[in-house]
Amino acid sequence: MKNFIKVLLIGFVSLSGLISCGDPKIDITSVAYEPKIVVEGYLFADEPVRGIRVMRNFALNQPIDTLSFILDPTITTVKINGDSLLFDIKTYSYYSNNIIVSKGSPYTLEVWGTIDGKELYTTAVTTVPADGFELIKKHPGKFKYGTPIPMDFIPLSPAGFYAFSIRPDSASLSNFIFDNEFNQDMKPEEIQKNLGEFRLRANVVFNIKPNLQDTIKQPIESYNTWFRSTYKTIIYAGDVNFKEYLLSAPNVKEFDGNFHEPKIILKGDGIGVFASAIRDTAYFEVY
Amino acid sequence: MKKIGLVSIITLLLTFYCAAQSGNIRTINGFVYDAKTGEALIGANVYLKDINQGTSTNISGYFVIPDVLNGSHSLTCSYMGYKPWSQKINVSAKGENTIVIKLTPQSVQTKEVIVSADSIRIIDRLYERPISKLELNSTQINQLPRIIEADLLRTLQTLPGITALSDFSSALYVRGGTPDQNLYMIDGADVYNPEHAFGIFSTFNTYAIKKVEISKGGFGAEYGGRLSSVLDVTNIDGNRNEFTGVVNISLLSASTTLQAPIGDFGSLSGSLRRTYLDQTYAKWNKNIPAYYFYDGNLKAFFDLGLKDKLTLSYFGSSDNLDFKFNKQKSSDGFFYDWGNKTASANWKHILGNTMFLNLSTTYSAFESNFDFALANVKERNKIYDLSFKGGVEYYASKDFSTKFGFEQKFLGGMLLQIFQQGKADVSKQRRHTMLYGSLSYHPLDKLIIDAGLRANYFFSDKTYVDYEPRFSAKYRLGETYNLKVAAGKYYQYLNRIPRLFFTSIWTAVDENVRESSSTHYIVGLQKEVSEIYSFEAELYYKNYYNLYAYNQLSFVDVEPSSYEGATPVYTSSKGLFNRGDGRSFGIEMMFKRDVGPISGWVSYSLSRTEYVYDQINKGNKFVPRQDRSSVFNAVMNFDWNEFWDQFLDRNYKERTSKWLIGVSFVYSTGQPITVPASSYYVNTLPDWKDFNLSGEGLPGYNLYPSEINKYRLPAYIRLDLSISYEISYSGWKLTPYLQVFNLGNRKNIWFIDYANKVENNILYQTVEKTNMLPLLPSIGVTATF
């Protein structure tokens, strides 16, 4: 019995030592790829239908030519409220000169396309907000970096959802604020690699009740202004599709790598967004 | 009809009671203590070997053996880590049949000691223990290899049926259940968020622990309120004979546990632990934030006579993070602190020889505060409860005993969150009244049947009334076999919203969230392999109804309850959770040796957990992240010198110094995760469309998930090592130690990351992995005096 235990112990320790090393590999090619029509479409009140992009999704394990994102327009049909849209070769998107988007109206999108020989169809409905918002100051002025930039507005949209796109007119290493409040040790190559992230900043507020008597204060803080430049802030009063897409689809991956499902806006074989909004722009400068 | 039933039960009880006191039958009772410290020993086995009757001590170290014939008997007592004790006793009508047993600690238990006539067989000790229950003491916890600090919850993760999600979490997943389904108690008080350092360590100070009991399922009617398990931690009362202490210094923290007598009628024990990275490394390394935690407990024990014991206990913990974006500037950053406080007062009274009363009052609170001024975000989160509990144990006869009691809990919770998009402001009070009763019946020598019922009255926005029947039986199948079965219904009225890095928020049932329930079915087999080896196997099945998982898209779905001007105020739980059902089933096996120069266990579990949620995976069945099909654990502790003495057939000799080696190995199937089925490109906002497609990490690059948790990461494998050198001096010991976590430096995968880059109009997608902890050595020293 003792010899048996000796052998068992030595064997166990050796085996456990051997298999507790290593660098396991991952292979996710076994996950089945399913082709989907990808829609990126926004309607803006009082504007014609423009810039409706119809694309495809792609599998993860291969390089993709970005020009192949767009579905072949010769075998793709796009309609809004039954009217066919035309394809613009310069912008790779669909448009219509016959439809001027009205506040409070519903619009139904339908797309027929073929991906990898498979015929697909998707549809979605968006209702344009009946009202938007009133910006208190379109030109708040010039501000020293670190000063909160006032972006006050009176909420009027029944959907209660507002998104802010904050973009500098000029963004490069030459005007990047290296002495920022967060990390002063960033290397230029690191900044260059993540330039898109510093350049394109967003903010949202939602479930805001429309109210003529109240002003919502949404100052732009220093974590949204990384460059010394003039800025453009486009504010969108979006519909429920806008809200559901923005709050869910770009955030499906949790910090620890797990995923949850986004809100499904497009029915059938589609993913992406088809939404509407009322928009306005504010301008300021950071020095 | 009900009155007749009640009268019948009372009559039966009285009949048994009278019979027990008449004629030639007597009751023996008493206490079992540690001879050196005076601590009451919980779960010590006390037997009358000549008539094969016995029991185990309760939480006060108290035992009762009813229906003993007058005359001379051989009373034996044994407990792990102590020399077996035996004595001839004379039971008589006139004599005092209360016995105080004092066991002497035995640091090394040789085989000869274990198999002596004084020892109680393993199979008998296993028979006494309820099904699915495991016990650990402080020594076992502190011997196990660790991540820098000895940690109770991480030790429990090496037991069969208990798994961890990652190296960064000490949370327990018991038989497929989630951490909020475990009831954690310290000296009878509930603990709500027992985690330090964002979940890496637990708040239990291992040097303050006397005993840990974990029930993985099928627990009796005296416990309730949770679906999966009960973790009952009892801290030391204190040394009643002399002043003693332990001081431990590791790379992370310093801690001390001190004990002293209070005259000759009581004792006091206290522990304190604090990390010091904020005072050392963080001072000169600007990348390390100013973070620290501390915890401590104080316990006073008063021996008010043979029949009365009073205990007062307090525990507190606190984590503090003061994060500055720029350490040179004093203003910008955020502040986060959180902590637990529990207090309990407990009175134990012996009502006659066969009845034991336990009354207690406990208070428990968890609170966290977060302040990020730059983003105008604040949060204050609190849960607290005040409970009054009482229980009676009545040993009517050797064939019949009963337990009954009550618990009245007053619960409160508040959450105040202020953020740019609105405000959450919730403050609620709830009441939970519980009554329980259970009978233990011994119809045959080899069979014990326990049946119980627990009644719940939970007062919330509506009143919930639920009953929890419990049943278990154990049968002595043969000389070396026990067979056990259990079944029970369990209800839970609290849910936890887990958050990464932030502490959890607890909510209670209300108009939107119903009570959760689970039914357990368990069959177990125990075998005495030899005098020192045991084998246990258990088969279990659990179903769950009305599970509530936090809705990751709740901020999309949740609607405000009111407005302050135009700003939304959230007070309702509607939209916070996804509802679902599920089941877990599996088999666990454990081969164990508790004594001798090698001790430890080898275990294997094969299991599966499945959920079906209304809003997850399109309503299709899926496995949750805690599902691990196969888990193999091996834990071994060696008294190295004694181990070689035995192997080389040398005589055992006392040493002033010795080497202690601990090895822990785990193999587990990989974690199920969701991987993307595809990716696509849609700009986050409409005006971002004109951004040139080049560079890395495109803002419009999105991933579309496939079926939930269909993919498995590679197996998780880890080997840990602990080496200690214990040196004994006159009156004290010094033990320096070296711990190596993940000795093989295996790159166990934590999660997968998806990177993207566009160069010359070509989108390149790469899959990268982030690993868990690498090889991590740490050193420390413990002084015991």
Read off the pLDDT of residues B536-552 as tens digits, 9 standing for 90 and up: 999 999 999 999 988 88
pLDDT tens column, B74-109? 899 988 778 889 999 888 776 667 889 999 987 655
ipTM: 0.92
Instruction: Say which DSSP state A193 is in.
Output: H
- Window 672-711 of B, Cβ < 8 Å to A: 673-689, 691, 693, 695-699, 702-706, 708, 710-711
Tell me how far CA of residue B428 lies from CA of B366, B493, B494, B776, in angstroms: 15, 14, 13, 44
Closest listed residue to residue B781, CA positions, set B113, B185, B256, B196: B256
Tokens of B486: 């259990």
Counted across chains A and B, CB pairs separated by less than 8 A come out at 262
Whichever domain contains B6, its CATH number is 2.60.40.1120
Side chain identity at A272, as an amino acid letter?
G
> Which pLDDT value is given to residue B17?
46
> Which pLDDT value is given to residue B352?
83
Query: Is the Cβ–Cβ distance between B196 and B143 less than 8 Å?
Result: no
Distance from B741 to chain A by nearest Cα, in Å? 11
Side chain identity at B546, as an amino acid letter?
N
The verdict on B577 touching A (C-beta cutoff 8 Å) is: no
Averaged confidence pLDDT in chain A: 90
* Test mutation, B330, B530, B667, B678, chain A, max A CBs within 10 A: B678
pLDDT at B3 over 60: no
Range with the poorest average pLDDT among B293-302, B360-369, B694-703:
B694-703
> Which pLDDT value is given to residue B110?
54
Q: Has residue B7 been placed in a domain? A: yes
Tokens of A39: 């829609």
CA–CA distance, B477 with B157 (Å, rounded to integer) = 31
The percentage of chain B sitting over the pLDDT mark of 90, rounded to a whole number, equals 54
Range with the poorest average pLDDT among A22-31, B144-153, B191-200, B511-520:
B144-153
For the segment A90-94, the average pLDDT, to the nearest whole number, is 92
* Identity of the residue in A38, A206, A244 whose CB atom sits nearest the CB atom of B421: A206
Q: State the pLDDT confidence band at B54, using cuts at 50, 70 and 90.
A: confident
Range with the poorest average pLDDT among A260-264, B356-360, B485-489:
A260-264
Residues of B in contact with A122 (CB under 8 A): none
The percentage of chain B sitting over the pLDDT mark of 70, rounded to a whole number, equals 92
The verdict on B719 touching A (C-beta cutoff 8 Å) is: yes
Range with the poorest average pLDDT among A254-263, B350-359, B399-408:
A254-263
Query: Is the Cβ–Cβ distance between B172 and B238 less than 8 Å?
Result: no
B518 SS3 class: strand
State which residue of chain B sits closest to A232, comparing Cα positions.
B687
pLDDT at B23 over 90: no
Structural domain harbouring B776: 672-784
Averaged confidence pLDDT in chain B: 87
Yes or no, beta carbons of B326 and A184 under 8 Å apart: yes
B497: β partners: B505
Look at B437 and B305; give whichever has higher pLDDT: B437
pLDDT at B50 over 90: no
Look at A71 and A30; give whichever has higher pLDDT: A71
Residues of B in contact with A25 (CB under 8 A): 714
Yes or no, beta carbons of A63 and B552 under 8 Å apart: no
Query: Is the Cβ–Cβ distance between B344 and B360 less than 8 Å?
Result: yes
B584: β partners: B542, B609
Domain boundary among B96, B116, B136: B116
pLDDT at B276 over 50: yes
> Which pLDDT value is given to residue B7?
47
* Test mutation, B332, B682, B696, chain A, max A CBs within 10 A: B682
CA–CA distance, B14 with B286 (Å, rounded to integer) = 73
> Which pLDDT value is given to residue B178?
94
The number of domains in chain B is 2
* Identity of the residue in A13, A196, A257 whose CB atom sits nearest the CB atom of B751: A257
Domain boundary among B49, B81, B116: B116
Q: Has residue B340 been placed in a domain? A: no
- Window 358-417 of B, Cβ < 8 Å to A: 374-375
Q: Has residue B13 been placed in a domain? A: yes
CA–CA distance, B134 with B122 (Å, rounded to integer) = 14
Domain range A133-238+280-286, CATH class: mainly beta
The verdict on B247 touching A (C-beta cutoff 8 Å) is: no
pLDDT tens column, B727-763? 999 989 999 999 899 999 999 999 888 888 888 878 8
What is the DSSP code string of A219-287? PBPGGG--BSEEEEEEEEEE-HHHHHHHHHGGG-B-TTS-B-PPP--SEESEEEEEEEEEEEEEEEEE-
For the segment B430-438, the average pLDDT, to the nearest whole number, is 97
Yes or no, beta carbons of A60 and B765 under 8 Å apart: yes
For the segment B711-716, the average pLDDT, to the nearest whole number, is 93
Q: Has residue B125 been placed in a domain? A: no
Cα torsion A179, A184, A188, A190 to 10°: value is -140
pLDDT tens column, A135-191? 999 999 999 998 999 999 999 999 999 999 999 999 999 999 998 888 777 889 888
Yes or no, beta carbons of B704 and A271 under 8 Å apart: yes
B224 SS3 class: coil
Yes or no, beta carbons of A23 and B616 under 8 Å apart: no
pLDDT at B489 over 80: yes
Query: Is the Cβ–Cβ distance between B148 and B173 less than 8 Å?
Result: no
pLDDT tens column, A181-192? 887 778 898 888
Q: Has residue B88 been placed in a domain? A: yes
pLDDT at A121 over 90: yes
pLDDT tens column, A205-214? 999 888 777 8
Tell me how far CA of residue B139 lies from CA of A8, B160, B432, B600, B715, in angstroms: 25, 19, 37, 12, 30
Q: State the pLDDT confidence band at B59, using cuts at 50, 70 and 90.
A: confident
Phi-psi region of B153 (alpha: psi -120 to 50; beta: other; left: phi over 0): alpha
Tokens of B261: 């007598």
Distance from B135 to chain A by nearest Cα, in Å? 25
- Beta-strand runs (E) in A25-150: 37-44, 48-56, 64-65, 77-80, 83-84, 86-88, 93-100, 106-115, 118-127, 133-135, 141-143
CA–CA distance, A252 with B163 (Å, rounded to integer) = 26
Distance from A286 to chain B by nearest Cα, in Å? 18
Residues of A in contact with B679 (CB under 8 A): 57-58, 60
Query: Is the Cβ–Cβ distance between B454 and B493 less than 8 Å?
Result: no
Structural domain boundaries in chain A: 133-238+280-286
Query: Is the Cβ–Cβ distance between B292 and B274 less than 8 Å?
Result: yes
Query: Is the Cβ–Cβ distance between A63 and B765 less than 8 Å?
Result: yes
Look at B138 and B469; give whichever has higher pLDDT: B469
Yes or no, beta carbons of B746 and A22 under 8 Å apart: yes
Q: State the pLDDT confidence band at B501, using cuts at 50, 70 and 90.
A: confident
Yes or no, beta carbons of A236 and B681 under 8 Å apart: no
Question: Cα–Cα–Cα angle for A130, A132, A135, nearest 5°?
Answer: 160
The verdict on B265 touching A (C-beta cutoff 8 Å) is: no
* pTM for the model: 0.90
Domain boundary among B93, B116, B139: B116
Best mean pLDDT range from A3-7, B95-99, B396-400, B480-484 = B480-484
**β pairing state of B25-34 and B98-103:** parallel
Tokens of B492: 């839970």
> Which pLDDT value is given to residue A5?
66
pLDDT tens column, A1-19? 666 666 777 777 777 777 8
Q: Has residue B478 been placed in a domain? A: no
Yes or no, beta carbons of B747 and A22 under 8 Å apart: yes
State which residue of chain B sits closest to A41, comparing Cα positions.
B686
